[in-house]
Structure 1
């Protein structure tokens, strides 16, 4: 589960604090485990600042706090504060930005990830895939891998994300798929043709950012027409 820490503090030495933050990032380059941080200033009180730091998980955040650079910077930070800073630890229960990123990552993994076992980094066990071009829904990691292998067997392909909309635990991604027909696909021998199609997928996420369900719509008929399998 994604973890966020909120650091609330007051300081009359904002420039010194900013330089300290920059030095912290520089000194922990390659070791710092935070994925994103935001520093905000209170519009009603310019000495009141809040830093929001995001980590992939609580355990990862704890590894960051154990770095010797982090301990040294913390002591220097306290010395710059007008009073003792406060820390609030939050387990993130919904993160639409993470959901969108994982939806994009899944499409990229379908096209390029050599180790399909790694799909479980973004797909939940028991993932349920709804695809109207399949007679039966694809359920479970093994079935997903077989589906991906079928497409890879027929094409060298890549996705381009054209648009994304996130609301609650759902992300809708509009995409363009482009491929080279390099192998057998649905009984069609390879032609070497460059083909493309468009589509959308709606993904449902659980709290930790893994995808539990997907609903696909895409122009398979148009793709088959490009390959000469059906009349245009």
Structure 2
């Protein structure tokens, strides 16, 4: 996020305004440069609304404003407002999604091999969902599974991408390791291996309370020679 515009207005006709904005979204498909919009209602004044619209840059915001559809919708918007809306242009100087930072730190600590530091970010009732396990694990089971991976591999994580929404963070990662101990019946080979995966974390009060894992376990076994490689 680099630039946002705040639109402050008063109206007793919000339902009509909402339909108007739906129409703008439809009419500007493939043209608009706005990437995210949030509308808030003042708890102390039901006629007071603030819309926050995100853009990649000020220049993109201006290009969006110059769309004929935007100009037409703006005139209709003014007609629904109790007075002229006010606009505030803001360069974003700090953008911190707190849960996303915790998820990144989880993988950084997991790569350093410090179990206490990894799982201190999790709640006591943490639930771990992994299709490789016959049943979901609690915090103790997740710790034990992590310790098992550590006995088999010296590994680290690289965070490739993250998306955060509401109480969830999705992390796409690359795992790189050296096979130093028995793994699923395969004796240590000393081989360097890699694996990609995606993890969804759910947060409660700033801590991770649930995790869903998907990763290329079959590809890892191929690299270790445990299964035949796909032609």
**Alignment TM class, shorter chain as reference:** 0.5 to 0.7
SS at match of 1:196: strand
- 2:107 aligned partner: 107
Cα offset for 1:187? 1.5
> The residue matched to 1:198 in structure 2 has which SS?
strand
Give 1:208-219 correspondences, 5 Å limit. 209-219=206-216
Q: How far off is 1:119 after superposition?
A: 3.5
Give the secondary-structure state (helix, strand or coil) at the position aligned to 1:138.
Answer: coil
Q: Say if 1:113 and 1:197 are closer, same or farther in 2 by CA, change over 3 A.
A: closer
For 2:191 and 2:223, how far apart are their aligned partners in 1?
8
* TM-score computed with the length of structure 2 as normaliser: 0.56
Where 2:97 maps in the other structure, the secondary structure is helix
Distance in 1 (alpha carbons) for counterparts of 2:169 and 2:143 = 22
> In 2, distance between residues paired with 1:118 and 1:107?
10
Distance in 1 (CA, whole Å) between partners of 2:152 and 2:193 is 12
Unaligned ranges ≥5, structure 2: 1-86, 88-92
Question: Residue 172 of structure 2 aligns with which residue?
Answer: 174
Could you tell me which residue of structure 2 aligns to residue 122 of structure 1?
Answer: 121
For 1:60, the equivalent position in structure 2 comes to: none
Instruction: Say whether 1:231 aligns with 2:212.
Output: no
Match of 1:163 among 161, 183, 205: 161
Give, in whole Å, the separation in 1 of the partners of 2:133 and 2:106.
20
Q: How many residues align?
A: 140
Residue 186 of structure 1, CA deviation: 1.3
Aligned to 2:62: none
Measured against aligned partners, the alpha-carbon deviations of 1:43-80 in whole angstroms (never above 9, x if no partner) come to x9xxxxxxx99xxxxxxxxxxxxxxxxxxxxxxxxxxx
Root-mean-square deviation (Å) = 2.4
Q: What does the per-residue CA deviation read over 1:182-230, in whole Å, with 9 as the maximum and x for residues that have no partner?
A: 11111111101110010100000012x1000011100000000000000
TM-score by length of 1: 0.56
Q: Which residue of 2 aligns with 1:186?
A: 184
Q: Which residue of 2 aligns with 1:203?
A: 201
In the alignment, structure 1 segments of 5+ residues that lack a partner are 1-43, 45-51, 54-94
User: Where in structure 2 are the equivalents of 1:1-232 lying within 5 Å?
Assistant: 97-114=97-114, 116-140=115-139, 142-207=140-205, 209-232=206-229
